[in-house]
Structure 1
Amino acid sequence: MATLWSKISAALPAEEEQFPLQFSDKVESSVTDMLKRSRRQLYSDTTSTSPTLSAQIILDLSWEKLNTGTWRDVDKEWRRVYSYGCLFKVAALCREDPSADDVRQAVRTCDMGLLMGAAIMDGILQVVVRILQGEVRKSTEEEEESEHEVKRIKIEGPRVPLIREEVTVPRTKRPSLESFNTNYLLPLKPVILEGVIDHWPALNQHPWSIEYLRCVAGCRTVPVEVGSRYTDEAWSQTLLTVNEFIDQYILNKGGAEGVGYLAQHQLFDQIPELKEDIRLPDYCCLGEGEEDDITVNAWFGPGGTVSPLHQDPQQNFLAQVVGSKYVRLYSPEDTDKLYPHQSQLLHNTSQVEVENPDKERFPEFAKAPYLECVLQPGDVLFIPVRHWHYVRSLELSFSVSFWWS
């Protein structure tokens, strides 16, 4: 730990005058004064307990702004203030002789800045968290080897639904861009693409597994959905480290709390090591938007997790990396038979429990034609825009989806 602060300080501007602190008048002068005080403390040779206090005041003030009203109404300036508060707190935690707990708290603080804040200083929080993560790995490698060695998952063969040939989603192997565009994209027809992600490191050089996730992201704090599906009344969200999520919801299968699911679009930006293991499907180039407009989502959880029947406003490639999933698809032309919720919040979600429908409440549902499939590692399912889809994990599963226009 002795060299930790030297590594962090080397990532910061060499002089206080080079450390940027510029905000619009939306941020009160009292807050900018506190930020400047924290900056002075960062470059001061004298040490005291005040840097931690100053950083916490900045975090408390900006946290209040972040949690007032809806998220889309939060001004980006206050998200930047929050990120600076996180950076100053990390510096205060690591400047002296930090304990292992101090370093873990610093990692969590960086993650909170990456999740809730906005980018500052060319992604400085991402740089710092990589330095911290290296220290955590070194200090816990032996401990984790002994602790997790006995915690192996008993892999049971999943109960794969019997799928009739006439309703099976068609498959095609590495179609050309022209063929995919003509036969599937323009007519908006679902298809399973084979052989198009075989080159992903996640499937060969760095095969994704629980052990691999522990190695590259175990100490990182991520949002976790608690509940088997988001339409359940008991569904909620919480923050856990990846190790805590694995121990609680994968190895112990949730205990009394039920199913937990790691489902979020920020994971690959937050943990670049995982982003380096995947690639954008070439077929996304047929879209109208830029590459930066493509939303990449991670879906990691145990068997039994369900995405209720719903539709999305963009094209979707669902790539299966680990485990298997059952998927059923309905055309938007049959929306009236799928009984969407009436509320604005869930208008894109069906009220019907697909695999156990209430025939009295939803009599038309049985008349809606559908396609279905089981995705295996290496499969990529094209889900056309507005197509309704229901997804159930048959076993421990890690998928990546790409939303594009």
Structure 2
Amino acid sequence: IGEDVKPFTPGKAKELVMSLQQPAVFCNMAGDWPALHWNAKYLSAVLDGRTIQFRLGLKTVDLVPQFETRCSYVEATLEEFLVWSSGQPCLSGPFSCYEYSRYWAYADYKYVARIFEDKPEIFQDVRWSDFGFPGRSGKESTLWIGSEGANTPCHLDSYGCNLVLQVQGRKRWHLFPPGDTSFLYPTRIPYEESSIFSKVNVANPDLKRFPEFRNTTAHVVTLSPGQV
């Protein structure tokens, strides 16, 4: 098989995505997507000084999830984020109050269509048509850029399915089957229209407070660049 031959046709890929009963990682499906060049330095140049919102949390491992309501927020350019996340001391600017050794930063849920509204040509760098979703591109996607340790509390999105392309770095996912829902102590607080959160910090669970969490079976998956 040639290197540029994908393991699944778009039709087969969609069939798999829509029928999966457990998490899956697709390899060699996005190797020719221009989006794989979207590292933070490149996107910083494309955004050309435009600021985006970053959520900041403490790197300390707590027994309680760091819900978004407990985080700090700053507006910063990707260039400022890159300087800060390199560990260089920031004496001024949006990250100056947040020591890199103590905090992580996450530009999460960023709608590509919104932050690149004046660069629509970039939408075509993402090709969800390869997974059987014709017409879906970066325009229908969200962008997530985080420093080491950046995370989102365990939650359930109450709509459809998610496809995630890892572009740079690695991201670890803790995924639980639907049957584990009651063991995850679901909550609608903090309220978010389409999400149900878990009261448990799944990376460091408080088993005295949430003993039923012992009954869960997590699928822990680490995505690497190029994987979906």
TM-score range, shorter chain: 0.7 to 0.9
Give 1 or 2 for the bigger CA radius of gyration.
1
Residue 236 (str. 1) matches residue 72 (str. 2):
yes
Going from structure 1 to structure 2, the CA distance change for 1:377 and 1:235 (only over 3 Å counts) comes to: same
The structure with higher relative contact order (CA 8 Å, sep 6+) is: 2
Determine the structure 1 residue equivalent to 2:182. 336
- Separation in 2, partners of 1:225, 1:322: 19
Find the residue that maps to 1:265 and give its secondary structure. Answer: strand
Determine the structure 1 residue equivalent to 2:165. 319
Kept after mapping to 1: 8 A contact 2:187/2:196: yes
Determine the structure 1 residue equivalent to 2:226. 378
- Separation in 2, partners of 1:250, 1:198: 27
User: Structure 2, unaligned stretches of length 5 or more?
Assistant: 1-5, 59-64, 90-94
The 5 Å alignment of 1:361-372 reads 361-372=209-220
Q: Deviations over 1:112-169 (max 9, x none)?
A: xxxxxxxxxxxxxxxxxxxxxxxxxxxxxxxxxxxxxxxxxxxxxxxxxxxxxxxxxx
Determine the structure 1 residue equivalent to 2:62. none
**Structure having the larger proportion of residues in helix:** 1
> Aligned AA for 2:217?
P
User: Structure 1, unaligned stretches of length 5 or more?
Assistant: 1-172, 381-405
Find the residue that maps to 2:128 and give its secondary structure. Answer: coil
Q: CA offset at residue 185 of structure 1?
A: 1.7
Residue 176 of structure 1 is aligned with which of 9, 15, 19? 9
Residue 148 of structure 2 is aligned with which of 278, 299, 303? 303
Going from structure 1 to structure 2, the CA distance change for 1:376 and 1:357 (only over 3 Å counts) comes to: same
Going from structure 1 to structure 2, the CA distance change for 1:217 and 1:338 (only over 3 Å counts) comes to: same
Determine the structure 1 residue equivalent to 2:108. 263
Give me the CA root mean square deviation: 2.9
Q: CA offset at residue 377 of structure 1?
A: 0.4
Residue 248 (str. 1) matches residue 93 (str. 2):
no
Going from structure 1 to structure 2, the CA distance change for 1:252 and 1:335 (only over 3 Å counts) comes to: farther
Q: Deviations over 1:246-287 (max 9, x none)?
A: 33345548564222211233334432364343222432528x
Going from structure 1 to structure 2, the CA distance change for 1:247 and 1:360 (only over 3 Å counts) comes to: same
Q: CA offset at residue 336 of structure 1?
A: 0.3
> Aligned AA for 2:45?
C
Going from structure 1 to structure 2, the CA distance change for 1:175 and 1:234 (only over 3 Å counts) comes to: same
Matched pairs, number: 201
Kept after mapping to 1: 8 A contact 2:67/2:153: yes
Residue 51 of structure 2 is aligned with which of 221, 230, 242? 221
Q: Deviations over 1:45-64 (max 9, x none)?
A: xxxxxxxxxxxxxxxxxxxx
TM-score, normalised with respect to structure 1: 0.44
- Separation in 2, partners of 1:291, 1:214: 24
Residue 348 (str. 1) matches residue 181 (str. 2):
no
Q: CA offset at residue 212 of structure 1?
A: 1.8
